[in-house]
Structure 1
């Protein structure tokens, strides 16, 4: 059986992020979480409180270098027209040195929670913005290897 080696780790700089198929080269970090929503189920004769999963919710955060007003405009689209903007995010991990293959995570029906409409900082060498979002579906069309060779 093959063992895990240090070179199997994935260099985070080998990641890419796409929004509606357009690469966002100014992304600094990306994370997304799926959470199970559960209800309590009391069961006669059992002292343990049971849990039943009833739905899922997806949340995430993009951290970007502040080089565009793209996301502010997306949020203001709702303010001016009443039409909310939804998009697809795809994160790609592909470190050829790791030997793990490529992972693609696709998040569906993404929607921004908030954006900073203005930002200045005299001490910042590179301005960043953090954008929280929700999503309503996920796919893994390409996954990393499970075993080690």
Structure 2
């Protein structure tokens, strides 16, 4: 099958849900799983081999400032010592691409930092970037079509 330009998936056609609530103010979200590896030298081989021994999930959300939700979460930890974890679902569904829908669920999202106060006289709209870690992911059987 030939790849057609209209099959390119637009990131604008995505949605993000955090604990079941749609985050209408999300501008950008990216999550990455990185393998942790250990090197193994094997007698008689010049190449160093690698063995995967773990995974680490990291990401970033960029949001238009519209809520104090994340300030509240970090202050909850500051006051009580109880950390707050979230579950997120990213839904990518570009009807124009006709490739299907992709839903990725991220478990135990924990935000690393948040801006607690921000003013900007030149801003047309405040944004906040929230780096995070996560501890698990799932991709249901509904996948984007292959060629």
Structure 1 length-normalised TM: 0.95
Distance 1:3 1:47 in 2: 41
Which 4+ residue blocks in structure 1 deviate beyond 4 angstroms? none
Distance 1:146 1:84 in 2: 40
Distance 1:57 1:43 in 2: 26
- Describe the SS at the equivalent of 1:33: strand
Q: Could you say which residue in structure 2 is the equivalent of 1:59?
A: 58
Matched, 1:103 2:102: yes
Q: Could you say which residue in structure 1 is the equivalent of 2:86?
A: 87
- Root-mean-square deviation (CA, aligned residues, Å) is 0.8
Q: Could you say which residue in structure 1 is the equivalent of 2:133?
A: 134
Unmatched runs of 5 consecutive residues or more in structure 1? none
Deviates more, 1:29-38 or 1:4-13: 4-13
Distance 1:113 1:27 in 2: 17
Distance 1:66 1:139 in 2: 28
**Alpha-carbon deviations, 1:55-96, whole Å to 9, x = none?**
000000000001111111111111111111011011100011
Distance 1:94 1:50 in 2: 39
Q: Could you say which residue in structure 2 is the equivalent of 1:69?
A: 68
Q: Could you say which residue in structure 2 is the equivalent of 1:9?
A: 8
Distance 2:85 2:57 in 1: 14
Number of corresponding residues? 146
Distance 1:8 1:62 in 2: 26
Distance 2:143 2:108 in 1: 21
Distance 1:130 1:28 in 2: 10
Unmatched runs of 5 consecutive residues or more in structure 2? none
- Describe the SS at the equivalent of 1:80: helix
**Alpha-carbon deviations, 1:22-66, whole Å to 9, x = none?**
100000000000000001111111111111100000000000001
Distance 1:86 1:68 in 2: 17
Distance 2:106 2:124 in 1: 31
